[in-house]
Amino acid sequence: MSNDLTSSAIAYIKTQFKENSDGHDFDHSMRVYQNAMSIAEHEQPCDTEVVALASLLHDVDDHKLFDTKDNFNARSFLEANNIGKSRADIICQVINEVSFSKNKGKTPSTIEAKIVQDADRLDALGAIGIARTFAYGGKHGRSLDDSIQHFHDKLLLIKDMMNTDSGKMLASERHDFLTLFLNQYNNEVKCTNEIQ
């Protein structure tokens, strides 16, 4: 993949996410891209251009952020950068297989989709995952208890849902940090409750 295309995609997502502060922002997309490229190094053969573009563009049509149909924002970028329709379809298929809520119980159909899904899920774990959970919860009026429930409903399940060997290894370490945080949180809440 050319550096120009990478730079264009980065500039595009920076514009798309400039107003966002709930954890689905430019920095999240960049971390997913970095995670994906790191995983891709260990999961060859794979199409690294598809991995790179799908990871950078994976949230530009997210239903929580945009009211678009058929990957309109991703396709607009790809078309403007002379990516043909058949290749754009492949990239958009990868993007569509990333979402946690839309793909429960489904395994991604290609190695590229497995890599990008793992890369996105990694960013929901560890210290970053904790920070994103509370950033999203605060923006959407969730209580601390509601945000903690999200750990049990989603985050603690992710480790066992990873697709690639390198993704599984990275997820295990970050999962351990989540459990450490929850144990400390529960101990502090217990102490507070005993005082009341």
Tens digit of pLDDT per residue, the chain (196 long)?
Answer: 678 999 999 999 999 998 776 677 899 999 999 999 999 999 989 999 999 999 999 999 988 888 899 999 999 999 999 999 999 999 999 999 998 767 777 899 999 999 999 999 999 999 999 999 999 899 889 999 999 999 999 999 999 999 999 999 999 999 999 999 999 999 998 876 666 5
Q: What is the structure's pLDDT at 112? A: 98
Q: What is the pLDDT of residue 194?
A: 64
Q: Which amino acid is at 77?
A: F
Residue 128: give the domain boundaries: 3-195
- DSSP H or E run through 105: none
What pLDDT shows up at residue 63? 84
How is residue 33 written in tokens?
């891209």
Q: Is the pTM of this model over 0.85?
A: yes
At 27 the pLDDT is 94
The whole-number pLDDT of residue 143 equals 93
Which CATH number characterizes residue 93's domain? 1.10.3210.50
Count of the separate structural domains present in the chain: 1
CB-hemisphere CA count at 13 Å for 166?
16
For residue 144, the model assigns a pLDDT of: 93
d(CA 189, CA 185): 6
